[in-house]
Structure 1
Amino acid sequence: MTVKNQSLLREASHQTVAGGSAGLVEICLMHPLDVVKTRFQIQRGKGDATSYKSLGHCFKTMFRQEGILGFYKGILPPILAETPKRAVKFLTFEQYKKILGYASLPSSAIFTIAGLGSGLTEAIVVNPFEVVKVSLQAQRNTFLQDPAMEFLRKLGIGLLSGTIASCVNIPFDVAKSRIQGPQPTPGVIKYRTCFNSIKAIYREEGFLALYKGLVPKIMRLGPGGAVMLLVYEYSFAWLQENF
């Protein structure tokens, strides 16, 4: 293996480890909010016997009835699924960015195309904030002389991208929770597909029902996006310097 190939393999392994670490840390920190969000989304109105009155009431009730471990229910599947997905996302993003660098394209276009390509490669539901995030990342050279400002810039990009994603895709998330959660009538599957579930929720419970759990979702994905971006950037930089 040539020195160049070894260098490329080393860089790719660092990107993979940094991306996987970013996903793992984000999931472990933010999973309780995902559980709370899902509890709100599977409620079918004020008449629901398990209805939570507010975000604070939900936290208190869960802690009292289920203990601290109740907030970490279902954490294993996202760890097993999202950690490699994040590794693939960041790895492919960096590789697409490098390939596109050979073309005579503006930096903003390179970051945008690379972001779209990594999202498609990751093969998950497209996050609408991805283009926003990578476009903002094109401004990397703005504050590079000031580490504190660079940290705040990355933090802001992560918060903004996570918040936009939450607001745009929440109806689909509500539909997913209804499909995966307990059905209203035991033995009868009411919520089968995404769009049919959205239509049923809108017809029976109103427009705002499609935005149940938005606050905990923003609280999770806003800071979660920031955590993931920061962990990736700094862990990758550390790996590059030390290995």
Structure 2
Amino acid sequence: MSARAESGFVREASQQILAGGSAGLVEICLMHPLDVVKTRFQIQGGENDLHRYKSVGDSFRVIFRTEGLFGFFKGILPPILAETPKRAVKFFTFEQYKKLLGYMPLSPALTFAIAGLGSGLTEAIVVNPFEVVKVGLQANRNSFAEQPSTLGYARQIVKKEGFGFQGLNKGFTATLGRHGVFNMVYFGFYFNVKNIIPVHQDPTLELLRKFGIGLLSGTIASVTNIPFDVAKSRIQGPQPVPGQIKYRTCFKTIATIYQEEGFFALYKGLIPKIMRLGPGGAVMLLVYEYTYSWLQENW
């Protein structure tokens, strides 16, 4: 690679990383309360669960009444710390996989989907330890002031269970499934549909066009991948009986939930998930595209 080509690649990569990190930071700050609600729904068990929430509205009321406003921001530090590298990896690897797949005889539709799958699997490797800490903090039902710090809780996990698949990386296969499936649908749908619907010359209408497609992309991807998300929350969250590991592997956890709680239990937390990742997914794509475009023009 020539010095000029290497310099061009570094500039392009830096632009994609900065744009992706910005997109993640904006999205997490806006949408984290819905992630807390989603996780609470996913970790609750059957009708006998003493902390069972009746609806999304009920969960908001109960959390606010018992844990205060900051209860909605439990576990936010891990995703904030993870979002910059996570979304940077997500968008950077998507662009690079897309470029690599461009050399192969694939249709554009398949190229976008496979590049999305690859970016999701790569993203999962980066984010899984942060997810373990985040879910554990979100599952804590004590008041915000009584819960352990992010670093303190991470140390507890490492001290008790280590860094492996029973410790800071538990739920790894479920996280691979969650991110791989989500990004495959998310990027595949967004870029294929965006290329079909005509571009508007009016900037406001063009913004709405992209937001609408992004909203659909995030919604459809959320519906598609949520069984993996529920399995991940069960594996990474507190086990039903302290000291006994009931939820250990991804597909066995999905099968257990299906057998004991029924098909719809695999879609627990779907409404808050869609409420977060529908508009959140649109926000991410818009922030990424407009930031990346600005960086290309000004850097």
Task: State if a TM-score over 0.5 links the two structures.
Answer: yes
16-25 vs 171-180, which moves further: 171-180
Shift of 1:24: 1.4
Note the alpha carbon deviations across 1:72-118, whole angstroms, 9 max, x for none: 11112222333212112212333344455567876545544543443
Aligned counterparts of 2:122 and 2:58: Cα–Cα separation in 1: 40
Task: Indicate the residue corresponding to 1:222 in structure 2.
Answer: 278
Normalised TM-score (structure 1): 0.87
Shift of 1:10: 2.1
Q: Which amino acid aligns with 2:41?
A: F
Normalised TM-score (structure 2): 0.72
220-229 vs 89-98, which moves further: 89-98
Shift of 1:59: 0.3
1:179 lines up with 2:255 in the alignment:
no
Q: Which amino acid aligns with 1:234?
A: Y
Question: Conserved in 2, the CA contact under 8 Å of 1:179 and 1:193?
Answer: yes
1:85-104 residue pairs with structure 2 within 5 A? 85-98=86-99
Gaps of 5+ in 1: none
Aligned counterparts of 2:98 and 2:250: Cα–Cα separation in 1: 33
Task: Indicate the residue corresponding to 2:144 in structure 1.
Answer: none
Note the alpha carbon deviations across 1:25-65, whole angstroms, 9 max, x for none: 11111111111011111111222111111111110110111
111-120 vs 230-239, which moves further: 111-120
The Cα RMSD (Å) is 2.4
Question: Conserved in 1, the CA contact under 8 Å of 2:116 and 2:185?
Answer: no
- Name which of 191, 206, 213 aligns with 1:150: 206
Gaps of 5+ in 2: 126-175
Task: Indicate the residue corresponding to 2:67 in structure 1.
Answer: 66
Task: Indicate the residue corresponding to 2:10 in structure 1.
Answer: 9
1:132 lines up with 2:192 in the alignment:
no
Structure with bigger RCO (C-alpha 8 Å, 6+ apart): 1
Shift of 1:208: 1.6
191-200 vs 111-120, which moves further: 111-120
Shift of 1:229: 0.3
Identity in percent? 68
Q: Which amino acid aligns with 1:215?
A: I
36-45 vs 170-179, which moves further: 170-179
After TM superposition, the runs of 4+ consecutive aligned structure 1 residues lying more than 3 A away are: 1-8, 95-125, 137-140
Aligned counterparts of 1:137 and 1:213: Cα–Cα separation in 2: 28
Question: Conserved in 2, the CA contact under 8 Å of 1:107 and 1:138?
Answer: no
The SS at the match of 1:138 is helix
Aligned counterparts of 2:98 and 2:284: Cα–Cα separation in 1: 19
Question: Conserved in 2, the CA contact under 8 Å of 1:16 and 1:90?
Answer: yes
Size of the aligned set, in residue pairs, is 242
The SS at the match of 1:51 is coil
Task: Indicate the residue corresponding to 2:46 in structure 1.
Answer: 45
Aligned counterparts of 1:86 and 1:101: Cα–Cα separation in 2: 22
Specify whether residues 201 and 110 from structure 1 end up closer, same or farther in structure 2 by C-alpha distance, changes over 3 A only: closer
